[in-house]
Amino acid sequence: MDASQLSRKIARNKSFAGAVLVRQGETDLLCRAYGYANRTWKIKNRPETRFRIASVGKMFTAAAVLQLIEAGKLAFDTRVTERLGLAGTKIPPEATVRHMLTMTSGIADWSNEESENFDAEWAQFCREHPLYLLRRDADYLPIFANLEPYGPLGEKFRYNGAGFMLMGLMIEKVTGLSYFETIRQNIFARADMTETEFLDLDDVVPNVAEGYVPIKDENKKIIGWKKNYYSTTAGSAADGGSTSTLEDMVRFARALRSGRLIPSELAHQMTSPQVVETDDNYRGFQWRYGFGCFVLLDMQDQIVRWGHTGEEDGVSCGYWYYPQQDVDVVILGNQSSCATKVLWDIQDFVLGL
């Protein structure tokens, strides 16, 4: 499959709308947009369109925490409750920065995405916690701090956004700046990410794609769309939610790899396996997690790719780096759950280079 065949395959996937970049070295193998940024006015997505990136932003938080570790202001074994004054909550006193960055704290998340009844529980959550009021990390703390932990501290990986929100609060405590301003200064500015910002869902800003949720019939066929205004959080937080572009995501990753954000040794640790994500060897790969970063290994323990996904209503995206091929892959989608199939199609293409 060549790049033109890959592009046509993505175009035929009507569940996907967004923009895609596959860059090897300085050569764009594929850079194209698909579908609509605004369905009401039939405004098409463009490669320059800005998209909300959900949990992909966890990589920004991890890099900022590692900057503070390098500066000696934090350590991997810094205890979270002690530094944040959260004694008496359900967050274990022994929980450390390392536990949060590797998602092994066992603490309850602010939203239990692994629940078998997630849709019903999410609807109930939205009734109890108006999403338009959730604008920063401190807004979430009362939601999860006193919930019973999901499991023992350090026992295993369990995907968790609350731990990254605690890291956001830690960043604010240590720097004296807001989480948002810290990331603007120390991540976005250093990486020349001029089109990346923490935009609220109700902000009026040019060139930003709206998010859409499919309406399906009893046979799972898409019969219409609705906007995601009432089904996702309005603001950003340290677990994700910023808005970015194809080009800016590559700029971030290259700044990370080059040592402009953190020293190369720390960047290597961030993007290398730290814990087992799952041991089922799905699709013939080993699934691991670094510091705010998913890592995929082949069965010979070589890194196939590292990066992060982002999923929420009306948002489906990911950034991945394939070191053996020196390929950056960015998928930014503005429809629910639309990026996964595109990623596997792209991976088949990349691994064939």
What backbone phi and psi angles, to 5 degrees, belong to 321?
-115, 130
Tell me what percent of the residues of the chain surpass a pLDDT of 70: 100
Per-residue pLDDT tens over the stretch 185-208: 999 999 999 999 999 999 999 999
Cβ–Cβ under 8 Å, residues 53 and 245: no
Instruction: Give the domain range for residue 264.
Output: 3-351
Cβ–Cβ under 8 Å, residues 143 and 101: no
pLDDT exceeds cutoff 90 at 117:
no
Count CB-CB contacts under 10 A for residue 1. 11
The total number of structural domains that make up the chain: 1
How many Å apart are CA 174 and CA 236, to the nearest integer?
20
Tell me what percent of the residues of the chain surpass a pLDDT of 90: 93
Domain of 270: which CATH number?
A: 3.40.710.10
Residue 8's SS3 state is helix
Per-residue pLDDT tens over the stretch 90-100: 999 999 999 99
Per-residue pLDDT tens over the stretch 119-146: 888 888 888 999 999 999 999 999 999 9
Picking from 196, 116, 104, the residue whose alpha carbon sits closest to that of residue 151 is: 104
pLDDT at 26: 97
Per-residue pLDDT tens over the stretch 35-61: 999 999 999 999 999 999 999 999 999
